[in-house]
Amino acid sequence: MMARLNELYPGYAGTAGLYLVEHSYLSRPVAPLLRSGPDSLAAWNAALEQTGT
C-alpha cells in the first residue's frame, strides 16, 4: 500500500496513509495530532516511510 501511496502522493505517502486510517476509524481530523508547520509534517512522513510497510 505504501508503494501505491508514494506513487499518488510523492513525499506525503505517510500522511495520506494516516488519513485513510483516520477516515475509517476516527471522527476527528488528524491535523490537531501533529505539530503545525511543514517541518513536522515532513518528519512524520519520513518516519512512517522508514517502517518498510
pLDDT of the residue at 7: 92
Q: Which three cell numbers stand for residue 7?
A: 506513487
pLDDT of the residue at 28: 59
Domain ranges of the chain: 2-49
Torsion angle, CA of 21/26/29/34, rounded to 10 degrees? -70
Low-confidence ranges of the chain (pLDDT < 70): 23-38, 51-53
Residue range 13-24, pLDDT digits in tens? 888 888 887 766
